Structure formats: C-alpha cells, structure tokens
C-alpha cells in the first residue's frame, strides 16, 4: 500500500440558489453553500497528485440545536474541514487508512474540535478522506472501485471492529460496480403534489417538473422518499394525497419514509404506522413502504427503550442522523434497527465498515435482513453528486435518494467551463437543456457507467477560481436572511 502525506490544500465555497423551496425537518432551504476541498498528496517516492471532495454545507442537519444559528452551522462545518485537513497535514507519511484513523482520533479527542458534535466532526474528516482517495485514483489511474477492491488505501476493518477479523474491502464489495441506479425521488414537506398545490405565483417557469404528479409522469419514477412532519393529521393527509397519485399507476412503486428526528418518543410514530396499515385508502401506500429512516431524535434513538418500541413496528427502521460514530450501527442493530444510511459526508470507510457488518450478520442468519441505504443531502453536480453515486455504485446499492436536480436547476451553479466539461465527459448522466445542463433520468434511473474514471467518479476538475474563500463567504453571509431560509 502506498505511503503518502498531504502537502497542499485549499477550500472554496460557492452558493447555489434553489428553483423551489426544500423543507426537511425544521428548516426550509432556498440556497445551498457548497464547499470544495482541493488537496495535494505526495508519495514516499516523491510523486504528487491533486484530488477533490465537495458537499453541501447542510444547516440544521448535522447540528439541530436550537441555539445554533444557520450561519454558525456553516461556520462549524467549515471549521471541521480545516481541523481535519490540518490533522492530515501534521500526520506525516502514512497509508490513506492510517491517516484517516489517526486524524479521526485527533478530531474526536483534541481540544480544537470542542463544541463540534459527532456528525460535524465526521463530515470534516470525510472531506480529506475523499480527496485523498480521489488523488490516489488520479495518480494510479484507477477508479474508486478498483482502489478499494485492491485495498490501495490499506483499510483494515478488523482494527475498527474485531468481529470482522482480517476481512478486506474487496471481499465484501460486489464484483463490479453498478452502471445503472434507480432514483428515489424526495417529496419534501412543502413540495406540491398536484398543480392545485402550487401557490399563486409559485409556478417555476423553467420547463422542468415541479409537482410530484409531473415527476411521476416525466421521469417514470418507481421509488419515492417522503418526508414526515411529526404531526399525525397533517402527515396522514399528505400521505393520502401521495397514495392517490400512486394507486392509479401501472408502474410498480416503492416508498421510504423519513422522520428526520421529528419524534422524541416512538409511540406517536407507531400510531402513524398503525393508521396507515389499518386505513383502507392508505393500505396501498403502507404496503409499498420499504423502510423508515430515523424517526427518533438522535438523543434518544439509541437509548435502551428504543428496543421495546421498535418491536411494535412491522417495517424495518434505519438510523441516519444517529450514525455519528463508528460504533453507532452496531449499537443500533442490538436495539432492533435493520439498517444504516450511506452518505459520503459521513465517510467512505465508515460505509465500508457498516457494509461488512451487515454482510457478516446476514451470513450468520442466512437471510438478507441488514442493509445499507443511500440517502441524499442535496448532493449537487459535479463533485458531490458524482462521487456519492460512484460510491453507491461500488457498494451495490440499487436505488438512491436524489433531490439536488429537483430543488436546484441542473448545473447552473457551476461555471460555463465546468458545465461544458461535465456534458462532454459524462453524457450518460447529463443532457443539455437551454443554455445549461440537467441530470438525465430515464425510466426512473440514472446511467452511471461514465463514473468509472480515475478517482472518485468525476473527470472535470472543479474551477477553484470561481469560488470564494471560506472567510470571505462567511463575511458576506452574516444573517439568516442571506441564506434565503
């Protein structure tokens, strides 16, 4: 395995404006700050390569404490990136896995990261982790799937969970990454279901779908992810509208529900599920539910009492926001949870660890009971979207939540050069639209074969000169109104 060190880095931020509001949990998003990390590595032989990672700096997801402002959320995420990169630079020459592990321990135990919660720290750590993998792939001419199958990063899963022994990443990954992934379309809390739900003056005039009814027709969707508000009557009414849209369609439909931590106790959520199951008009939707994502607030989701309540539910429940530590999924399984979300923002190595655990548990049972899902945190083109899809493809996750194309207009947030390069390098994933480009969804799916390129799944190099340095961006966004939320 290659020994390497980090010798250079910089971060840029750009803002993408939404085409329609996106409400999840306790926040409504109308703009998205996206941070990009450029990182240069040097091997022990003196070879150098530069890699990239990027993500939406999602306020009110990593840290939902009421006393923390949206701007503070963004500032904390940027600080987490800075601390992680500094730890990488100070760690010296090691394998990619040893860099990740030692820097993760530094973030968890060091004074500099005080005040940052588990998810925020793991986000910061994931940025240089992904950028290093991208740089390694570009240096060696290997895709992320090839890098991990051959364990070029030197990942030792048994050091993270002794029960996994000497298992290597290549032993748990499919033989080849997927080249087609189904889209699980997000239905946010304020998304219009039909044209009657679009408020006066609220029609988006860009020619793209806006209502769920339109998306079902245009994209031939087969999978939906529905956000819940935590208010019983409002959720039942909205789920009834969605059920009406699905019941008359010939295409098979599957649904996941996302609680986004809206419940402090599981009894109210169990009542919602009971009503769905027992109401004839909603039974069609209930039968289509594959799993439920994180109904309980993270502060109680992994408490012992959760086990008793989870036994009341027929449908599998997975953790998402409660997945802040490397041991969270193991704890969740002991309580009765069946799965955990994969998101690049929580780390690639963590997803490999959780996949290995699920594979081991299923092998012991002789049944496919435990699983990883793929969930979106508004991953926009190019770097966030494509690197997330590339990892989902190598993990073998057949359908992923996607919402960036829904709430934001294509590749409009990128520079003209980046848009042109994305179209040229990834024509299976994007198509021209007016003067811009948009995501191609055919028969409810994304073609992702072109992501098998050296690095983390994207050929166009991010235009760092088109971005703003973090401190300048923060200085320009000193109020909640500046985020449009």
* Statement: residue 483 has pLDDT above 80: no
Domains (ranges, CATH) in the chain?
4-156+468-476 (3.30.390.10), 170-460 (3.20.20.120)
How far apart CA 133 and CA 397 sit, in angstroms, is 20
Output the six-digit token pair for 229. 């508000």
Instruction: State the average pLDDT over residues 454-475.
Output: 96
Are 320 and 334 a contacting pair, CB within 8 Å? Answer: no
Mean pLDDT of the residues in the chain: 95
Rounded-to-integer distance, Cα 143 and Cα 465, Å: 26
List Cα–Cα distances, 450 to 159, 180, 387, in angstroms: 34, 10, 12
**pLDDT(347) > 90:** yes
| Separation CA 235–CA 256 (nearest Å) | 14
Q: Are 444 and 183 in contact (CB under 8 A)?
A: yes
Q: What tens digit of pLDDT does each residue of 256-302 get?
A: 999 999 999 989 999 999 999 999 999 999 999 999 999 999 999 99
pLDDT in tens, 180-213: 999 999 999 999 999 999 999 999 999 999 999 9
The mean per-residue pLDDT over the stretch 355-363 comes to 98
With a CB cutoff of 8 Å and minimum separation 6, the contacts of 430 are 381, 410, 411, 422, 423, 437, 438, 439, 440
- CA-CA distance, 285 to 34, in Å (whole number)? 35
Residue 466 and residue 477: Cα distance in Å, rounded?
18
Mean local confidence (pLDDT), 74-78: 97
The pTM of this model reads 0.96
d(CA 407, CA 400): 16
> What pLDDT sits at residue 248?
79
Read off the tokens for 31.
């703009």
Whether the pLDDT of residue 482 is over 70: the answer is no
- pLDDT at 378 exceeding the cut of 70: yes
Residue 314, number of CB atoms within 10 A of its CB: 9
Contact 372, 342 (CB under 8 A): yes
Q: How confident is the model at residue 17 (pLDDT cuts 50, 70, 90)?
A: very high
Identify whether the C-beta of residue 55 lies closer than 8 Å to the C-beta of residue 34: yes
pLDDT (0 to 100) of residue 321:
97
Residue 368 has pLDDT above 90, yes or no: yes
Question: What pLDDT digit, counting tens, does each position of 298-326 carry?
Answer: 999 999 999 988 999 999 999 999 999 99
Over residues 421-448, the mean pLDDT reads: 96
As a whole number, mean pLDDT of residues 74-91 equals 97
Answer yes or no: are the C-beta atoms of 36 and 462 closer than 8 Å: yes
Q: Are the C-beta atoms of 67 and 55 separated by less than 8 Å? A: no
Instruction: Say how many CA atoms lie within 13 Å of 44 toward its Cβ.
Output: 8
pLDDT higher than threshold 80 for residue 480: no
Looking at residue 255, its pLDDT comes to 97
Residue 239 CA to its chain's centroid (Å)? 24
For residue 450, the number of C-alpha atoms closer than 13 Å in the C-beta half-sphere is 18
- Residue 1 pLDDT > 90: no
Of the pLDDT bands very low, low, confident and very high (cuts 50, 70, 90), residue 427 is very high
Q: Is 3 exposed, middle or buried (0-12, 13-18, 19+ CB in 10 A)?
A: middle
- pLDDT of residue 131 exceeding 70, the answer is yes
Cα–Cα dist 388/328, whole Å = 21
Residues 6+ apart with CB under 8 A from 166: 158
Report d(CA 441, CA 219) in Å as an integer: 6
Average confidence (pLDDT) over 32-54: 97
Preceding peptide of 382 cis, ω within 30°: yes
What share of the chain in percent tops pLDDT 90?
A: 89
**pLDDT exceeds 80 at position 162:** yes
- pLDDT attached to residue 481: 61
């Amino acid at each position: 395995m290659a020994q390497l060190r980090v010798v250079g880095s910089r971060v840029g931020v750009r803002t993408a404006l939404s085409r329609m509001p996106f409400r999840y949990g306790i926040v409504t998003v109308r703009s998205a700050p996206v941070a990009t990390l450029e990182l240069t590595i040097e091997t022990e032989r003196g070879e150098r390569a530069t890699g990239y990672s990027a993500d939406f700096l999602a306020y009110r997801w990593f840290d939902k404490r009421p006393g923390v402002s949206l701007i503070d959320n963004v500032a904390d995420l940027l600080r987490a990136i800075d601390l992680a990169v500094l730890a990488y630079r100070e760690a010296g020459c090691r394998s990619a896995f040893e860099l990740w592990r030692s820097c993760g321990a530094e973030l968890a135990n060091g004074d500099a990261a005080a005040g940052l919660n588990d998810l925020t720290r793991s986000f910061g750590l994931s940025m240089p982790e992904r950028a290093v993998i991208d740089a390694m792939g570009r240096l060696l001419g290997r895709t992320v799937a090839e890098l991990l199958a051959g364990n070029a990063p030197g990942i030792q899963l048994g050091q993270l969970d002794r029960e996994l022994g000497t298992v290597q990443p290549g032993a748990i990954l499919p033989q080849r990454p997927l080249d087609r992934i189904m889209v699980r379309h997000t239905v946010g809390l304020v998304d219009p279901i039909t044209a009657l739900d679009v408020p006066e003056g609220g029609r988006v005039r860009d020619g793209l779908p806006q209502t769920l009814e339109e998306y079902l027709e245009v994209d031939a969707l087969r999978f939906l992810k529905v956000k819940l508000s935590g208010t019983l009557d409002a959720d039942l009414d909205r789920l009834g509208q969605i059920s009406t849209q699905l019941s008359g369609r010939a295409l098979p439909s599957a649904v996941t529900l996302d609680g986004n931590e809206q419940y402090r106790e599981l009894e109210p959520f169990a009542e919602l599920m009971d009503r769905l199951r027992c109401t004839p008009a909603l039974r069609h939707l209930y039968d289509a539910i594959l799993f439920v994502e994180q109904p309980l607030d993270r502060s109680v989701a992994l408490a012992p009492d959760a086990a008793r309540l989870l036994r009341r539910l027929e449908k599998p429940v997975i953790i998402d926001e409660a997945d802040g530590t490397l041991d969270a999924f193991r704890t969740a399984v002991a309580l009765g949870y069946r799965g955990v979300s994969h998101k690049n923002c929580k780390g690639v190595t963590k997803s490999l660890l959780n996949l290995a655990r699920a594979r081991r548990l299923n092998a012991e049972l002789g049944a496919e009971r435990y699983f990883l899902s793929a969930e979106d945190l508004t991953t926009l083109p190019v770097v966030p979207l494509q690197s997330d899809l590339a990892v989902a493809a190598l993990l073998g996750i057949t359908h992923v939540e996607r919402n960036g194309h829904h709430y934001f207009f294509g590749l409009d947030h990128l520079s003209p050069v980046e848009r042109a390069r994305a179209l040229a390098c990834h024509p299976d994933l994007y198509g021209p639209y007016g003067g811009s480009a948009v995501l191609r969804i055919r028969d409810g799916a994304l073609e992702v074969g072109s992501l098998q390129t050296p690095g983390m799944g994207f050929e166009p190099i991010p235009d760092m000169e088109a971005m703003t340095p973090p401190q300048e961006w923060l200085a320009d966004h000193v109020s909640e109104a500046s985020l449009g939320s």
